[in-house]
Structure 1
Amino acid sequence: MALLKVKFSQKKRVKLAQGLWLMNWFSVFAGIIVFSMGLFLKIELRKRSEVMDNSESHFVPNSLILMGVLACAFNALAGKICYDSLDPTKFAKWKPLLKPYLVLCFLFNIFIFFIALICFLTRGSLETTLAHGLKNGMKFYRDTDTPGRCFMKKTIDMLQIEFRCCGNNGFRDWFEIQWISNRYLDFGSKEVKDRIKSNVDGRFLVDGVPFSCCNPSSPRPCIQYQVTNNSAHYSYDYQTEELNLWNRGCREALLHYYSSMMSSMGGVVLFVWLFEVSVMVGLRLLHTSLESITNPEDPECESEGWLLEQSLKDTFKSTLESLKKIGKFNQVDAGAEGAEGEEGGKTPAISTVS
């Protein structure tokens, strides 16, 4: 028994073709939106590529861009097919291409669903990428004179100001690295010498943070040096001065920004997938309803359309059998070639007449 079998009159076939034509052009518009989202996400990731550890994060925007281009191409072609289906002479040239086209649409819908899942599940890999990238970026903060790293200070400062964050996991991360360049240290000073000698790696570590960690909402001037030394500042307790510095780490801030963006994009892609599946089902019904017309000379006669010619179970069984036959056919061919080789290598027997 056919799956999703529907009877169509001439009027219903025309309405289905017109509706699918309209839906396909809506899908072209959706493809443009998806392409724009992928481009926007790629630009946003490029802006902060210096604080990201690898290029794997660009898989999602690249996939969205590809998906948008393919959606525009597939749906524009489907719109043309639906428009030509109203004219039997024009539709005749599309008939041989419809089955391969529907197979491509099915594969394309699998790709769309996969991209939607990736948008929702990419948080873990993105968190690891940001954690390593920010850690390395903070190490290069002081290298303002090193080619290739001279803009890292500006990148980190703008990042902390824009996202209202400090450090990787928090402001204490700055205590563990030397973020002040040696160019601005007085090595003749006893304090500088003592700090460098007290460190195993010979780094100048301070309990201070860059100015970009300061919270402008703080009622007092920002305290960015000797942050944990209460006696160094009047009426100060670093554990209660919550407004002095940003408490949130930049990894958490960027992760929330990108993951929320990708989740929203995943929702849009999922909606596009549902729309594309509806278009594919409608196109299949239109295709089968036009093919099952018993009398081509009478276009107003009724016909039947279906999604699958057999039930889902029978279709699955027949597909497996077809695959098995293909495998057996290949084995038979290989065996026949081997037999021919053996026969060619045999020495003909010579009969002796007594």
Structure 2
Amino acid sequence: MALLKVKFDQRRRVKLAQGLWLMNWLSVLASVVIFSLGLFLKIELRKRSDVMDNSESHFVPNSLVGIGVLAFVFNFLAGKICYDALDPAKHAKWKPWLKPYLSFCVFFSVALFLVALCCFLMRGSLESTLALGLKNGMKYYRDTDTPGRCFMKKTVDMLQIEFKCCGNNGFRDWFEVQWISNRYLDFSSKDVKDRIKSNVDGRYLVDGVPFSCCNPSSPRPCIQYQLTNNSAHYSYDHQTEELNLWLLGCRDALLNYYSSLMNAMGAVTLLTWLFEVTITIGLRYLHTALEGVSDPADPECESEGWLLEKSVLDTWKDILENLKKLGKGNQVEAEGADAGQAPEAG
């Protein structure tokens, strides 16, 4: 017995086809938006690729770009199908392709939903990518004379200024790396020698941060060196006084920025998915309603449309049975190919 059966007359079939045609063109516009969002996210990630550890973060924008292209093609074709549906001569050309097309639409809807889900779930992998990438960026901050790393200082400084952040998790991360280049150190100075000797790795570590960590809104001139030495500055207590540095770590700042972008993109993709599911259901009803017209010469006659030809359980059983037959068919072909091989000469 058919599932969710609905009666259609000529007027309702026309209205359904026209409504689906309009919805498909709206979905074409939505697919362009999804494609553009994926492209924008990809550009934003590439801007800061120097402080990201790997290319896994590009999976979501690549998926959005790909699904946007597919959505454009599918909805363009669906719009054409709906436009031709009420012309018997034109509809006859589409008739053999409608069932396979509807099957592809179902798989496409599943893929669209998974992409939307990935937009919401990518925060974890992005966090680890940023943590390691920023750590390396800070480590190479001083290498302004090293090929391939000479722009790292500018990249990190611009990042901290733009996102109002400092360090990986906070400003204290700069205490653990040598961010001052050796070319700007006076190795004849006793203070420099003592600092380098006191460190096992032979690095020049200071309780200071780069200028880009300074908050220009602070009323006090920026204190970026000897941050933990109260006696080095007048009327200063680093434990109680609010520092004039950005307190937010760059990992959290970037993570919040990209997460808000991907959440918005996920919401748009999810709305498009709901639209696509509605269109697929409408196409199924239009297809079965046109198939049910008993007399093509009488377009005014009533017909029935349905979502599934059988119940959900029976349809699922048929799908499993077809998959089993397909598997057995492949197995028989493989055995036949093995049997047809000539025995090797001894």
Change beyond 3 A, Cα 1:218–1:241: farther
2:102 matched residue in structure 1: 102
Corresponding residue number in structure 2 for 1:298: 298
Percentage of pairs with the same residue: 76
SS in 1 for 2:216: coil
Aligned residues: 343
Deviations 1:257-304 (A, max 9, x none): 111111111111110000000001101110111011111111110011
Q: Does 1:269 align with 2:269?
A: yes
1:66-85 superposed matches below 5 A: 66-85=66-85
Give how far 1:233 is off.
Answer: 0.3
| Deviations, residues 174-208 of structure 1 (Å, cap 9, x unaligned) | 00000000010111111111111111111000000
The change in CA–CA distance for 1:338 and 1:146 in structure 2 (over 3 A counts) is closer
Using the alignment, how far apart are the partners of 1:200 and 1:93 within structure 2? Answer: 79
What is the distance in 2 between the residues matched to 1:41 and 1:247? 26
Give the direction of change, closer, same or farther, for the CA distance of 1:101–1:214 in structure 2 (3 Å limit): same
Partner residue in 1 for 2:21: 21
**1:317 Cα deviation from its structure 2 partner:** 1.1
Alignment map for 1:156-235 (pairs within 5 Å): 156-235=156-235
Query: C-alpha deviations, 1:121-148, integer Å up to 9, x for none?
Result: 1111000000000000000000111111
Aligned to 1:8: 8
CA apart distance, 1:327: 3.8
Q: Any conservation in 2 of the 1:42–1:58 contact (CA below 8 Å)? A: yes
**SS across alignment from 2:304:** strand
Mapped to 1, the partners of 2:122 and 2:193 lie a distance apart of: 46
Give the Å deviation of 1:216: 1.0
Residue identity in the other structure for 2:202: G
Q: Which residue in 1 is equivalent to 2:309?
A: 309
Shift in Å at residue 325 of structure 1?
3.2
Cα offsets for 1:78-102 (capped at 9, x unmatched): 1011001121111110001111111
Segment drifting more, 12-21 vs 253-262:
253-262
1:348 alignment partner in structure 2: none
Residue in structure 2 matched with residue 345 of structure 1 by the alignment: none
Partner of residue 59, structure 2: 59
Residues 337-348 of structure 1 mapped to structure 2, 5 A cutoff: none
Gaps of 5+ in 2: 342-346
Query: Partners of 2:334 and 2:68 in 1: how far apart?
Result: 44
1:151 paired residue number: 151
Letter aligned with residue 284 of structure 1: R
Alignment correspondent of 1:352: none
SS at 2:125 equivalent: helix
Which residue of the partner structure matches residue 344 of structure 2? Answer: none
Counterpart-to-counterpart distance in 1, 2:109 and 2:126: 25
The answer to whether the 8 A contact 1:208-1:225 is kept is yes
Give the deviation of 1:4 after TM superposition: 1.7
1:240 shift after superposition: 2.6
CA change 1:340–1:30 in 2 (3 A) is closer
Contact 1:211 1:224 in 2 (8 A): yes
- 8 Å contact 1:167–1:173 — kept in the other structure? yes
Indicate the residue corresponding to 1:250 in structure 2: 250
Give the secondary-structure state (helix, strand or coil) at the position aligned to 1:128: helix
Residue matched to 1:133: 133
In the alignment, is the contact (CA less than 8 A) between 1:217 and 1:243 conserved in 2? Answer: no
1:201 alignment partner AA: D
Residues 183, 4 of structure 1: alpha-carbon distance in 2 compared, 3 angstrom cutoff: same
Q: Which residue identity lines up with residue 144 of structure 2 in the other structure? A: T
Shift of 1:331: 5.3
Q: Distance in 1 between matches of 2:266 and 2:301?
A: 44
Superposed displacement of residue 319, structure 1: 1.7
RMSD: 1.8
Which protein has the larger Cα radius of gyration, Structure 1 or Structure 2? 1
Paired residue type of 1:184: Y
Q: 2:93 is paired with a residue of what secondary structure?
A: coil
